[in-house]
Chains A and B, each alone.
Chain A
Amino acid sequence: MLLAPVIWALTVAIVYLFVAKTWWFPPPINQHGVAYDAQFMRTLVVVGVIFFLAQVALGYVIMKFRDDGRRATYSHGNNRLETLWTSATALLFLGLVLMGTKIWAGVHFDEAPPDAIPIEVTAKQFAWNFRYTGPDGKFGHTDLKFINDAGGNPVGLDENDPVGKDDIVSASLKIPVNRPIKLILHSRDVIHNFFVRELRMKQDIVPGMEIPLHFVANQIGIYEVPCSELCGLGHFQMRTTMQVMSQADFDEWMKQQEAQK
Chain B
Amino acid sequence: MSSPAHVAHHAPQGFIRRYIFSLDHKVIGIQYYFLGLFSVFIGVSLSLLMRYHMVNPNVSVHWFEKLWPTAATGGVMTPELYLSLMTMHGTIMVFFVLTTVPQSGFGNYFLPIQIGAEDMAFPVLNMMSFWTTFLALVVMVSAFFVQGGAPLSGWTAYPPLSAAGRLTGPGEGMGQTLWIVSIAIFCGASLMGAINFIATTLDLRCKGMTLMKMPLTCWTWLVTAILGLFGFAVLLAAGVLLILDRVAGTSFFLPAGLYINDQIIANHKGGSPLLWQHLFWFFGHPEVYIAILPGMGVTSQLLSTFSRKPIFGYKAMVYAILSIGFLGFLVWGHHMFMSGMNPYSAMAFSILTMCIGVPSAIKTFNWLGTLWGGKIHFTTAMLFALGFVSLFVTGGLSGIFLGQPALDLYFHDTYFVVGHFHMIMGVAAIFGMFAGTFYWFPKMYGRMMNETLGRIHFYLTFIGVYAIFTPMHFLGIVGNPRRYADFTNVQFLGAVIPVHQFMTYAAYATASAQLIFVVNLFWSLKKGPRAEINPWHSTTLEWTVPSPPPFDNFAGVHPVVYHGPYEYSVPGAERDFIMQTDPPAVHAQA
- 1/0 per residue, CB under 8 A from A, across B418-449: the answer is 00000000000000000000000000000000
Contacts A75-B310, A96-B354, A227-B481 given; does A65 touch B372 at CB 8 Å: yes
Residues of B within 8 A of A61 (CB): 368, 371-372, 374, 376
Q: Are B79 and A236 in contact (CB under 8 A)?
A: yes
Q: Are B347 and A229 in contact (CB under 8 A)?
A: no
Q: Are B405 and A104 in contact (CB under 8 A)?
A: yes
Q: Are B152 and A232 in contact (CB under 8 A)?
A: yes
Distance to closest chain A CB from B250 (angstroms)? 15
Q: Are B258 and A189 in contact (CB under 8 A)?
A: yes
Give A228 to B337 CA distance when docked, in angstroms: 14
Contact of B273 among A201, A208, A224 (CB under 8 A): A208
Considering the complex, which residues of chain B in the window 480-494 have a beta carbon less than 8 Å from any beta carbon of chain A?
481, 483-487, 489-492
Query: Which A residue's beta carbon lies closest to that of B467?
Result: A10
Contacts A51-B394, A202-B410 given; does A97 touch B485 at CB 8 Å: no
Distance to closest chain B CB from A36 (angstroms)? 7
Task: Determine the main DSSP class of A at the interface with B.
Answer: mixed
Number of A-B residue pairs having CB atoms within 8 Å of each other in the complex: 325
Q: Which of A22, A70, A97, A147 has the most CB of B within 10 A?
A: A97
**Interface membership of B453, Cβ < 8 A:** no
Residues of A within 8 A of B486 (CB): 236
Give A191 to B373 CA distance when docked, in angstroms: 54
Residues of A within 8 A of B514 (CB): none
Q: Are B365 and A36 in contact (CB under 8 A)?
A: no
Contacts A6-B463, A197-B479, A202-B410 given; does A190 touch B361 at CB 8 Å: no
Residues of B within 8 A of A193 (CB): 338, 412-413
Q: Are A197 and B401 in contact (CB under 8 A)?
A: no
Give A147 to B401 CA distance when docked, in angstroms: 41
**Interface membership of B208, Cβ < 8 A:** no
**Interface membership of B272, Cβ < 8 A:** yes
Q: Are A58 and B492 in contact (CB under 8 A)?
A: no
Q: Are B309 and A104 in contact (CB under 8 A)?
A: no
- 1/0 per residue, CB under 8 A from B, across A68-94: the answer is 101111111111011001100110011
Q: Are A86 and B362 in contact (CB under 8 A)?
A: yes
Distance to closest chain A CB from B460 (angstroms)? 11
Residues of A within 8 A of B258 (CB): 188-189, 207
Give A73 to B346 CA distance when docked, in angstroms: 46
**Interface membership of A47, Cβ < 8 A:** yes
Residues of A within 8 A of B479 (CB): 25-26, 195, 197, 226
Q: Are A26 and B410 in contact (CB under 8 A)?
A: no
Contact of A228 among B372, B400, B414, B569 (CB under 8 A): B414
Residues of A within 8 A of B261 (CB): 125, 189
Q: Are B397 and A50 in contact (CB under 8 A)?
A: yes
Contacts A76-B312, A201-B409, A206-B340 given; does A96 touch B499 at CB 8 Å: no
Q: Are A203 and B401 in contact (CB under 8 A)?
A: no
Q: Are B475 and A23 in contact (CB under 8 A)?
A: yes
Q: Are B406 and A104 in contact (CB under 8 A)?
A: yes
**Interface membership of A261, Cβ < 8 A:** no
Q: Are A144 and B394 in contact (CB under 8 A)?
A: no
Q: Are B347 and A104 in contact (CB under 8 A)?
A: yes
Contact of A74 among B393, B489, B570 (CB under 8 A): B570
Give A77 to B367 CA distance when docked, in angstroms: 11
Q: Are B375 and A65 in contact (CB under 8 A)?
A: yes
Residues of A within 8 A of B354 (CB): 90, 93-94, 96-97
Contact of A51 among B310, B343, B393, B405 (CB under 8 A): B393
Residues of A within 8 A of B357 (CB): 89, 93
**Interface membership of B60, Cβ < 8 A:** no
Query: Which A residue's beta carbon lies closest to that of B466?
Result: A10
Q: Are A23 and B259 in contact (CB under 8 A)?
A: no
Q: Are B386 and A58 in contact (CB under 8 A)?
A: yes
Interface size on B, residues (CB 8 A): 114
Q: Which of A124, A147, A237 has the most CB of B within 10 A?
A: A237
Q: Are B481 and A195 in contact (CB under 8 A)?
A: yes
Q: Which of A72, A101, A227 has the most CB of B within 10 A?
A: A72
Distance to closest chain A CB from B327 (angstroms)? 12
Distance to closest chain B CB from A21 (angstroms)? 9
Q: Are B484 and A236 in contact (CB under 8 A)?
A: yes
Q: Are B358 and A93 in contact (CB under 8 A)?
A: yes
Residues of B within 8 A of A191 (CB): 158, 160-161, 273
Contact of B309 among A1, A72, A227 (CB under 8 A): A72
Contact of A17 among B79, B377, B470 (CB under 8 A): B470
Q: Are A54 and B410 in contact (CB under 8 A)?
A: no
Q: Are B397 and A74 in contact (CB under 8 A)?
A: no
Contact of B351 among A97, A204, A237 (CB under 8 A): A97
Give A197 to B480 CA distance when docked, in angstroms: 10
Residues of A within 8 A of B490 (CB): 224, 226, 236, 239
Query: Which B residue's beta carbon lies closest to that of A22?
Result: B474
Contacts A65-B374, A236-B485 given; does A149 touch B262 at CB 8 Å: yes
Distance to closest chain B CB from A162 (angstroms)? 24
Considering the complex, which residues of chain B in the window 554-586 have a beta carbon less than 8 Å from any beta carbon of chain A?
568-571, 576
Residues of A within 8 A of B576 (CB): 71-72
Considering the complex, which residues of chain B in the window 129-184 have a beta carbon less than 8 Å from any beta carbon of chain A?
152-154, 158, 160-161, 164, 168-170
Q: Are B372 and A76 in contact (CB under 8 A)?
A: no
Residues of B within 8 A of A107 (CB): 343, 409
Give A200 to B492 CA distance when docked, in angstroms: 15
Binding site for B on A (CB under 8 A): 1-3, 6-7, 10, 13-14, 17, 22-26, 36, 39-40, 43-44, 46-47, 50-51, 54-55, 57-58, 61-62, 65-68, 70-79, 81-82, 85-86, 89-90, 93-94, 96-97, 100-101, 103-104, 107-109, 124-125, 144-145, 147, 149, 156, 188-191, 193, 195, 197, 200-209, 211, 224, 226-237, 239
Rank and list the top 9 A-B pairs by shortest CB-CB distance, nearest first: A208-B255, A108-B343, A77-B313, A100-B406, A73-B373, A103-B406, A236-B484, A23-B474, A233-B80
New A-B contacts (15) at CB < 8 Å, excluding given A7-B390, A67-B376, A90-B354? A13-B470, A14-B466, A25-B479, A46-B400, A47-B398, A75-B310, A77-B366, A81-B369, A90-B355, A97-B351, A147-B259, A193-B412, A202-B409, A208-B271, A228-B481
